[in-house]
């Protein structure tokens, strides 16, 4: 199985010209570029090999929802993928109930969903990383986020992707090292295999699971060489064209 790289630009870059330059540099097969909403149309015109994704979506098709974007609007822009439930949005108050509604709405619109799940330092053990504690937290998250989302209803074998992002490891490499080697490829692999099992149990689907714990060109190979790791959700490194190109090159050698 080829690896999938999702470039989550977050609220970057600051101009459309910069966004176009970055998209051109990242235009490769197996890449999903997820820019801010305002750049989607421009980037869709510029890329020919990469797919275009969105960083969020709302669950209602239309109405008085200031600032929101519907699944149908994204489809009309040529968007194929959408990130849902990113830890940064959850930290701002997005609940599992909201995530569940977004997942259902996106799948109904035939968008490919990249559902983010993962534990914080507190949820994985306040001092020492506890795999079982982290797994229990992620299991509850998945059950809530995928409540009512079953393959028999949504036909989601190729439309649901899970991104495992240990919250404590996102852009915090120094603090991650202090957590008894919790941020290791071996631990990530154990969690990803666990997530696959839970997803099969809850939704009857075998899905791709990405790793999203601050992937860089320096550590990408160590995480991605495992067959069970289906790719990576890349944040900061996706804003550095040279760094992201190295990650793309790494996936070609695996």
Distances (CA, A) of 165 to 81, 105, 133, 168, 234: 18, 23, 15, 9, 10
Task: Please list, in sequence order, all residues whose beta carbon lies within 8 angstroms of the beta carbon of residue 5, skipping any fewer than 6 positions away.
Answer: 30, 31, 32, 231, 232, 234, 244, 247, 248, 251
Residue 10: other Cβ atoms inside 10 A: 14
Question: Which one of the listed residues 26, 123, 165, 225 is annotated catalytic?
Answer: 165
Coil, strand or helix: which one is 163?
Answer: strand
Coil, strand or helix: which one is 223?
Answer: helix
What pairs with residue 114 in β-bridges? 83, 161
* Torsion of the alpha carbons at 211, 214, 215 and 216, rounded to the nearest 10: 180
Percentage helix, strand, coil, to 5, in the chain? 45, 15, 40
Question: Which one of the listed residues 86, 88, 130, 157 is annotated catalytic?
Answer: 86
User: 150 an active-site residue?
Assistant: no
CA dihedral for 74, 40, 159, 142, sign (positive or negative): negative
User: 80 an active-site residue?
Assistant: no
Which residues are the active-site residues? 86, 165
């Amino acid at each position: 199985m080829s690896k999938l790289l999702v470039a989550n630009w977050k609220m970057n870059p600051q101009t459309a010209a910069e966004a176009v330059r970055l998209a051109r540099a990242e235009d490769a097969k197996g890449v999903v570029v997820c820019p801010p909403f305002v750049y989607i149309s421009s980037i869709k015109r510029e890329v020919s090999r990469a797919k275009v994704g969105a960083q969020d979506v709302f669950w209602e098709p239309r109405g008085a929802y200031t600032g929101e974007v519907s699944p149908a609007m994204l489809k009309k822009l040529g968007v194929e993928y959408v990130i849902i439930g990113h830890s940064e949005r959850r930290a701002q108050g997005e609940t599992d109930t909201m995530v569940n509604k977004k997942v259902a709405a996106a799948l109904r619109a035939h968008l490919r969903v990249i559902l983010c799940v993962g534990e914080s330092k507190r949820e994985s053990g306040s001092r020492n990383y506890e795999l079982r504690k982290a797994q229990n937290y992620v299991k509850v998250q998945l059950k809530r986020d995928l409540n009512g989302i079953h393959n028999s209803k949504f036909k989601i074998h190729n439309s649901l992707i899970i991104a495992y992002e240990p919250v404590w490891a996102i852009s915090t490499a120094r603090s991650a090292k202090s957590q008894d080697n919790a941020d290791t490829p071996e631990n990530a692999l154990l969690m990803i295999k666990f997530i696959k099992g839970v997803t099969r149990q809850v939704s009857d689907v075998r899905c791709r699971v990405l790793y999203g714990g601050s992937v860089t060109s320096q550590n990408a190979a160590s995480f991605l060489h495992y067959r069970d790791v289906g790719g990576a959700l890349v944040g900061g490194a996706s804003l550095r064209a040279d760094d992201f190109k190295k990650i793309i090159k790494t996936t070609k050698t695996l």
